[in-house]
């Protein structure tokens, strides 16, 4: 990297928005779980689409490689260069404007660097819901959410980030701008370009702004913490709840007793809402656009589920505090695993019908490989998306256990593949899972992906080393 290019970048974004100081670069280069540190020549922080255009044109002219970054909360290293350190990180954080909120059209146009939480707040200020919801919502950004097609806890009713986006503004690899900021619920005038850039992790273009879909705020909400005998009953309960829980099923999360025990042991203030222990639990939420009658309908539904044996015990949140307590049991599940030693993680999905069999087979497989290990499957059962995490055996050596990461991954992913599932349901591919793709993807699909990459970024200057 010649300092001449950095000088030219400074001329575009202003000197203080080109960071080369090693300490100042750390927040952009450090993986947030501290799994690794990346390497880059500089962090460049454009403040407008025009500045992104100028930077990309400069990069294209000089063969400089760019890694777009939002809130640096990604879980697969898509946002952090790790190779020779020749890359420039293009941080979109300064582009955080809300360009327009249009409640009559149920849309909001925002820039890529806006945090998800601020987007949620802007929607709520206009009397609307922006339903995307993730653990990292305070720092992750809309551009990152879209580039990774983020999931979260409201996918069951509202869809992934992909489904929540109506239009995009994208700076292409040659510096042209595609202005696709449409507010249209229907538009059949040609190929769907939007979905090509969503989920592409910044490898096909740089998302600079987006039109987001808004929804009415729910008029009523019922949250239940349920004991279920096994994932089989959880699946039957899921189907029954979609058909007749009395409103829209917005959340259906599964957790095992092992997971709940971890939370009760390590999360301050956490307590079991039910008096007796159960091997499995479901956190279920139902929303309605009618202020009255929901609790009664959900109670009637749960009464039937108890009679049928789908549920063995149930607690319905009677207050907002109680609701928050139920949610906390689910939300703390990721964090508390760190207090139980090493944890080998998977973010997989299978067809809904296969979730119980997957949990059983994967648990059996990891227990055979590492006797005494503790499977902690949990997550978005309503989407067929299980975070199949495996905690080390009690008292085992953490590093030795973590050393078996890829071996355990392979065994679990083999079962996923056999069940026609996905080895990355919501986190993406980034750099950490890239080398797994050839093992699980249809070769024709992988070839098509490479063809698209070569077509849209022929010089390979956008996020090299990620995805393909």
Among 35, 37, 61, 176, binds a copy of itself (CB under 8 A): 176
Contact letters (x/-) for a copy of itself, 364-383, by CB under 8 A?
Answer: ----------------x-xx
Establish if 193 lies at the interface with a copy of itself (CB under 8 A): yes
Q: How many residues bind a copy of itself, per CB under 8 A?
A: 97
* Minimum CB–partner distance for residue 20 and a copy of itself (Å): 33
| CB distance 88 to 110 below 8 Å | no
Among 297, 315, 411, 461, binds a copy of itself (CB under 8 A): 297
| CB distance 200 to 467 below 8 Å | yes
Cα–Cα nearest to 331, from 251, 415, 400, 399: 251
Establish if 410 lies at the interface with a copy of itself (CB under 8 A): no
Among 16, 34, 84, 188, binds a copy of itself (CB under 8 A): 188
| Separation CA 224–CA 246 (nearest Å) | 13
Cα–Cα nearest to 350, from 415, 280, 439, 256: 415
Tokens linked to 337:
């695993």
Among 247, 375, 464, 465, binds a copy of itself (CB under 8 A): 247
| Separation CA 197–CA 86 (nearest Å) | 24
* Minimum CB–partner distance for residue 237 and a copy of itself (Å): 12
Tokens linked to 457:
């970024």
Query: Cα dist. 313→75, 201, 269, 281, 355 in Å?
Result: 35, 43, 22, 9, 22
* Minimum CB–partner distance for residue 390 and a copy of itself (Å): 20
Between 25 and 204, CB nearer to a copy of itself: 204
Between 12 and 200, CB nearer to a copy of itself: 200
Among 16, 34, 189, 276, binds a copy of itself (CB under 8 A): 189
Query: Cα dist. 145→140, 212, 286, 427 in Å?
Result: 7, 11, 25, 10
Establish if 17 lies at the interface with a copy of itself (CB under 8 A): no
Between 103 and 393, CB nearer to a copy of itself: 103
Among 25, 237, 245, 362, binds a copy of itself (CB under 8 A): 245
Among 64, 160, 223, 392, binds a copy of itself (CB under 8 A): 160
The DSSP letter of residue 115 is B
| Separation CA 391–CA 398 (nearest Å) | 10
Establish if 35 lies at the interface with a copy of itself (CB under 8 A): no
Establish if 124 lies at the interface with a copy of itself (CB under 8 A): no
Between 94 and 441, CB nearer to a copy of itself: 441
Stretch that binds a copy of itself, among 117-125, 274-282, 343-351, 390-398 (CB under 8 A): 343-351
Angle at 318 between CA 316 and CA 324, to 5 degrees: 85
Establish if 215 lies at the interface with a copy of itself (CB under 8 A): yes
Between 185 and 398, CB nearer to a copy of itself: 185
Between 48 and 183, CB nearer to a copy of itself: 183
| Separation CA 332–CA 44 (nearest Å) | 35
Between 180 and 273, CB nearer to a copy of itself: 180
Residue numbers 251-290 binding a copy of itself by CB under 8 A: 288-290
Among 246, 259, 273, 342, binds a copy of itself (CB under 8 A): 246
Cα–Cα nearest to 204, from 181, 160, 166, 171: 171
Stretch that binds a copy of itself, among 32-40, 66-74, 192-200, 303-311 (CB under 8 A): 192-200
Between 293 and 372, CB nearer to a copy of itself: 293
In three-state secondary structure terms, 394 is coil
| Separation CA 444–CA 421 (nearest Å) | 17
Stretch that binds a copy of itself, among 26-34, 308-316, 319-327, 352-360 (CB under 8 A): 352-360
Which helix or strand (DSSP H or E) is residue 281 part of? strand 280-288
Establish if 185 lies at the interface with a copy of itself (CB under 8 A): yes
* Minimum CB–partner distance for residue 10 and a copy of itself (Å): 28
Query: Cα dist. 31→77, 95, 318, 370 in Å?
Result: 7, 22, 39, 28
CA atoms within 13 A on the CB side of 101: 18
Q: Could you give the angle at which helices 355-369 and 405-418 cross, rounded to 10 degrees?
A: 150
Residue numbers 126-155 binding a copy of itself by CB under 8 A: 148-149, 151, 155
Tokens linked to 446:
């992988």
In three-state secondary structure terms, 320 is helix
Between 119 and 423, CB nearer to a copy of itself: 423
Contact letters (x/-) for a copy of itself, 420-439, by CB under 8 A?
Answer: xxxxxxxxxx---x---x--
In three-state secondary structure terms, 347 is strand
Residue numbers 50-109 binding a copy of itself by CB under 8 A: 102-107
Residue numbers 298-337 binding a copy of itself by CB under 8 A: none
| Separation CA 210–CA 231 (nearest Å) | 38
Helices (H), 287-353: 294-307, 320-331, 333-336
């Amino acid at each position: 990297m010649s300092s001449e290019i950095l000088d030219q970048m400074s001329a575009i974004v202003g000197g203080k928005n080109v960071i080369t100081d090693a300490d100042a670069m750390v927040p952009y280069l450090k993986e947030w779980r501290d799994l690794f540190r990346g390497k880059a020549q500089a962090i460049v922080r454009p403040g407008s689409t025009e500045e992104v255009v100028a930077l990309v044109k400069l990069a294209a002219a000089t063969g400089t490689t760019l890694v777009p970054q939002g809130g640096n909360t990604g879980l697969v290293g898509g946002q952090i260069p790790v190779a020779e350190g020749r890359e420039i990180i293009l941080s979109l954080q300064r582009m955080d404007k809300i360009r327009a909120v249009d409640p009559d059209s149920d849309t909001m146009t925002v820039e890529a660097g806006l945090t998800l939480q601020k987007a949620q707040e802007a929607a709520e200020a206009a009397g609307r819901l922006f339903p995307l919801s993730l653990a990292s919502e305070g720092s992750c950004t809309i551009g990152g959410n879209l580039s990774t097609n983020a999931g979260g806890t409201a996918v069951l009713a509202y869809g992934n980030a992909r489904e929540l986006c109506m239009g995009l503004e994208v700076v292409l690899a040659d510096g042209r701008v595609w202005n696709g900021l449409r507010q249209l619920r229907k538009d059949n005038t040609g190929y769907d370009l939007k979905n090509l850039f969503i989920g592409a992790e910044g490898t096909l273009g740089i998302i600079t702004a987006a039109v987001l879909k808004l929804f009415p705020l729910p008029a009523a909400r019922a949250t239940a913490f349920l004991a279920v005998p096994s994932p089989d009953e959880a699946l039957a309960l899921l189907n029954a709840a979609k058909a007749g829980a009395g409103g829209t099923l917005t959340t259906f999360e599964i957790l095992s007793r092992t997971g709940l025990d971890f939370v009760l042991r390590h999360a301050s203030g956490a307590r079991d809402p039910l008096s007796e222990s159960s091997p499995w639990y479901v956190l279920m939420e139902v929303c309605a656009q009618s202020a009255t009658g929901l609790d009664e309908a959900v109670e009637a539904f749960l009464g039937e589920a108890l009679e049928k044996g789908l549920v063995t015990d149930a607690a319905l949140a009677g207050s907002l505090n109680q609701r928050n307590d139920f949610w906390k049991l689910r939300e703390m599940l990721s964090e508390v695993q760190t207090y139980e030693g090493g944890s080998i993680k998977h973010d997989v999905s299978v067809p809904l019908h296969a979730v119980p069999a997957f949990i059983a087979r994967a648990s059996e497989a990891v227990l055979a490989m590492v006797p005494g290990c503790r499977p902690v499957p949990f997550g978005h059962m309503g989407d067929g998306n299980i975070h199949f995490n495996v905690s080390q055996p009690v008292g085992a050596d953490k590093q030795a256990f973590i050393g078996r990461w890829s071996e355990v991954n392979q065994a679990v992913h083999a079962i996923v593949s056999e069940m026609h599932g996905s080895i990355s349901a919501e986190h993406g591919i980034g750099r950490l899972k890239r080398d797994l793709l050839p093992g699980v993807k249809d070769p024709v699909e992988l070839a098509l992906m490479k063809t698209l990459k070569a077509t849209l970024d022929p010089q390979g200057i956008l996020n090299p080393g990620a995805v393909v």
